[in-house]
Amino acid sequence: MNGDFSKGAPPAMRLFYNATSPYARIARVAILEKGLQGRVELVETDPWSNPPELLEVNPLSKVPVLDIEGVGPLTESSVIAQVLDLLSPSFPLLPAAAPARIDTLTRAALAQGLIDAAFGLVLEGRRPEERRWADWTGRLTGAVTRAIARVAERRAPSGRFDLGDITLAVALSYCRFRHPGLHWPDDHPGLAAWLDRVERRPSFVSTQP
């Protein structure tokens, strides 16, 4: 990492993303909420086709990737969010105080796990029916259902909108988009109403899949 990029104007950046990726959406929302969109070139890509430009910055051919001038490529939404906080003090994604920071990271981790399980269900559903594993599908469905129930049970207003909230909103939006048959909004109307409010934020409107 060259120099202290936490001071002065942010360097030029490129975000490799796919419009339907919930992982990339977290990074896109974070960039918009922090007001850094004018410094980030968006590069839409198809990670499933192993495009050379993406492989150059991430040999795993996964999105998102934030390629920062003078720093290099960063992968994983949580890592990107933490570095974005170093680039700009506006709209902190992670609180500075340890208890609040731990709470935010814990909520973000649970929401990320929810995305993982929901994405796994999508991949399993794309397999030929005769090759699908019912036990695995059941395990993933159970994980999604339990995670949403846990969030609905423990969610309390924090007085801020941080990385935990962004990741959760993206996760719930993805579940509603990809798995409407789960009917979680009917089971947790309060959580569904919260998501409806969040999805009216400009950062969510402009990143809808």
Q: Which residues pair with 66 in a beta bridge?
A: 15, 74
- pTM of structure: 0.93
Residue 11: Cβ within 10 Å count:
14
Task: Domain ranges for the chain, please list them.
Answer: 13-87, 98-205
Note whether 154 and 111 are within 8 A (CB). no
pLDDT in tens, 34-92: 999 999 999 999 999 999 999 999 999 999 999 999 899 999 999 999 999 988 888 99
What CATH homologous superfamily does 13-87 map to?
Glutaredoxin (3.40.30.10)
Q: Which residues pair with 65 in a beta bridge?
A: 16, 75
Average pLDDT, the chain: 93
**Structure-derived torsion over alpha carbons of residues 90, 110, 127, 16, reported in degrees to the nearest 10:** 20
Given this structure, which CATH class describes domain 98-205? mainly alpha
Nearest CA to 143 out of 171, 164, 169, 105 is that of 171
